[in-house]
Structure 1
Amino acid sequence: MTLEDRKHQRTQLDYEDTEECFHVEVYDRRYVLNRIHDVSISGTGIQIPNEIEPGTPVKLVFRNAQRSVSVNGTTVWCDPIPLGLEPAPPEPAFRTGIQFDPKDRNCAVFFMTLRDFIANSEKKQT
């Protein structure tokens, strides 16, 4: 999938040391997400330490003290991040594209939660 194939505009999110928690569940494994490369109402790009085969069902989850929301999705692509890039990941990592399940009624709620989190994070940085 190329940038031109995307149906919706995407926004990047980096965060550390917050009370909020994003993670992705793949079968019986859970990966905490500290970097979300882009997000839209239809999907997101994430960075994780393990490869996920395209077509694999996943669940993305956001939790904080006030709410918990999740959305089901499918891995669309997964590529290794070459070591030595700036900023270089501290360990092997994979950029992974996730398409939200359009039948999942939480797509819009999950996107709005991420959008609110991004807006609040940007306010804290300025």
Structure 2
Amino acid sequence: MLLQDEESFDINKVRDVSISGVGLEVPHAFSEGAQVSLAYDSGDFQLRIQGTVMWCNASENGGYAMGIEFDRESHQDNALFFLAIRKYLDEFDGTYIDA
């Protein structure tokens, strides 16, 4: 889930993810430099990390592609978020990675 000022927004697709950031497709445009939060909730495991919108452009499907850089001071949370999203994406794709 993507949040800005406690308002939540849908995420259409996770395009890519790394320890330092994530690429998303969303139905709503965000301003470059906007502060956002990403929330991950899977049963007993919940994580919320902060990030900055680095770019946001209209995409071919009518939504927006955006890049978010995670807060550089939150290394441990960023790594946990990366691993959680990678695990989710790999399970969804039917492939698994060694983490």
TM-score range normalised by the length of the shorter chain: 0.7 to 0.9
Name the residue aligned to 1:116. 87
TM-score relative to the length of structure 1:
0.68
Corresponding residue SS for 2:54: strand
Name the residue aligned to 1:25. 3
Name the residue aligned to 1:94. 64
Q: Distance in 1 between matches of 2:32 and 2:26?
A: 14
Match of 1:74 among 49, 52, 64: 52
Change (3 A) 1:66 1:121: farther
Moved over 2 A (4+): none
Deviations 1:25-45 (A, max 9, x none): 012321122301111111011
- By how many angstroms is 1:123 displaced? 2.5
Corresponding residue SS for 2:51: strand
Comparing both structures, which one devotes a greater share of its residues to strand?
A: 2
May I ask how many residue pairs the two structures share in their alignment? 94
Q: Distance in 2 between matches of 1:48 and 1:95?
A: 6
Name the residue aligned to 2:40. 62
- By how many angstroms is 1:122 displaced? 2.5
